[in-house]
Amino acid sequence: MMLQNRLHQALYRAELQLHYQPQVNAADGRVTGVEALLRWRNPELGEVPPARFIPVAEDCGLIVPIGAWVIEQSCRQAQAWRQAGLPDLTLSVNLSALQFRRAGLIETIAGALERSGLPPQLLELELTESILLQDVENTLEAVRQLKAMGVRLSIDDFGTGYSSLSYLKRFAVDRLKIDQSFVRDISTDPDDAAIARAIIQLAHSLRLGIIAEGVETQEQLAFLREAGCSEVQGYLFSKPLPPAELEAFLRRR
Ligand code: G
Ligand code: G
Ligand code: MN
Ligand code: NA
């Protein structure tokens, strides 16, 4: 059977799950947020990595209902953690370009916030540079409505696409995420170090938040902290965890 058909069934057979990866304050190690990341476990195929099924979901349009499920489910989960007495955390959710180009995104997000009771300020949508460069007029309008709702916006994988500095201003972005490809060799490769420093400086100059992803070692953390990166995410702290394990992680800290 084609992956696309199996993926269609996955949505209705509850084979999709969300894992949550902590985002940590670089100075004191406190958890400030979580990123929701899709996982798919199929009875025949086993774990299918997102890098394999997300492009398929984007090509066949399934990313729209799957993305709506991600938003609904993660908002409920984040609100459930608040109601369980855990401190307020930012919830970061990845969006695909197609979700922006189809009608209904604003209603999906407004509905998920209303049904869950999660304050809009706690929801951060991770966009890619390519989303912001496609269909600029419609995207601007969608972003304007999201900002009016109080939702936050970040740019994922910053520096890997067609970085256009003008959109940082036009789209009123709140935070940049330094891509893990710049973090990997940050303590040994002078070019990666320079790029990471430049992105951090840019965020500071524009008064944007800044987070680095893919942080795996103490050396990387020390470099980023000294360069002024306020938040970090990566295996050094935790891999993405199922909800119960994430809750246990939060309670231990
Ligand atoms: O979790 P992992 O590192 O394997 O994720 C691989 C890729 O899949 C990342 O680029 C991530 O942004 C993307 N991804 C994970 N979850 C979602 C999701 O809910 N929606 C979209 N659009 N992309 C996701
Ligand atoms: O593109 P995006 O940033 O959404 O993708 C995040 C992906 O990176 C997730 O699939 C997640 O599993 C993965 N990831 C998270 N932390 C680390 C890390 O420290 N090292 C590596 N190699 N991957 C990571
Ligand atoms: Mn992301
Ligand atoms: Na990324």
Q: Tell me the best of 7, 48, 54 to mutate to test the pocket of ligand 1, counting ligand atoms within 8 Å of each CB and taking the most.
A: 54
Structural domains present in the chain: 3-252 (3.20.20.450)
H-type alpha helices, the chain = 3-12, 50-60, 63-83, 97-101, 105-116, 129-133, 136-149, 165-170, 180-183, 190-205, 218-226, 243-252
Per-residue pLDDT of the chain in tens (253 residues, 90 and over written 9): 799 999 999 999 999 999 999 999 999 999 999 999 999 999 999 999 999 999 999 999 999 999 999 999 999 999 999 999 999 999 999 999 999 888 899 999 999 999 999 999 999 999 998 888 888 888 999 999 999 999 999 999 998 988 778 888 888 899 999 999 999 999 999 999 999 999 999 999 999 999 999 999 999 999 999 999 999 999 999 999 999 999 999 999 8
CA of 69 to the centre of ligand 1 (A): 14
Q: How far apart are CA 208 and CA 17, in angstroms?
A: 31
Q: How far apart are CA 206 and CA 201, in angstroms?
A: 9
CB atoms within 10 A of CB 28: 7
Instruction: Report helix, strand or coil for 94.
Output: strand
Ligand nearest to the CA of 157: 4
State the closest ligand 1 atom to the C-alpha of 157, by its place in the atom list counted from 1: 10
Exposure b/e, 215-230, CB count within 10 A at least 16 = b: beeeebbebbeebebb
Residue nearest to atom 12 of ligand 1 (CA): 94
Residues with CB under 5 A from ligand 3 (ion): 94, 126, 156
150 Cβ inside 6 Å of ligand 1: no
Amino acid identity, position 68: A
The per-residue pLDDT for 67 is 98
Give the C-alpha distances (Å, rounded to integers) separating 149 from 71, 106, 145, 190.
15, 9, 6, 41
DSSP string, 206-249: TT-EEEEE---SHHHHHHHHHTT--EEESTTT---B-HHHHHHH
Q: How far apart are CA 69 and CA 75, in angstroms?
A: 10
pTM of this prediction exceeds 0.90: yes
Pick from 138, 139, 171, 144: nearest CA to 155: 171
CA of 232 to the centre of ligand 3 (A): 13
Q: How far apart are CA 210 and CA 230, in angstroms?
A: 6
ipTM of the complex: 0.96
Residues forming beta bridges with residue 231, ordered by sequence position: 25, 211
The per-residue pLDDT for 126 is 97
CA of 127 to the centre of ligand 4 (A): 10
- CB-based burial of residue 34 (10 Å sphere; 0-12 exposed, 13-18 middle, 19+ buried)? buried
- CB-based burial of residue 211 (10 Å sphere; 0-12 exposed, 13-18 middle, 19+ buried)? buried
CA of 115 to the centre of ligand 1 (A): 24
179 Cβ inside 6 Å of ligand 2: no
The per-residue pLDDT for 165 is 83
The per-residue pLDDT for 113 is 98
* Cα angle value 210/202/29 (rounded, 5°): 25
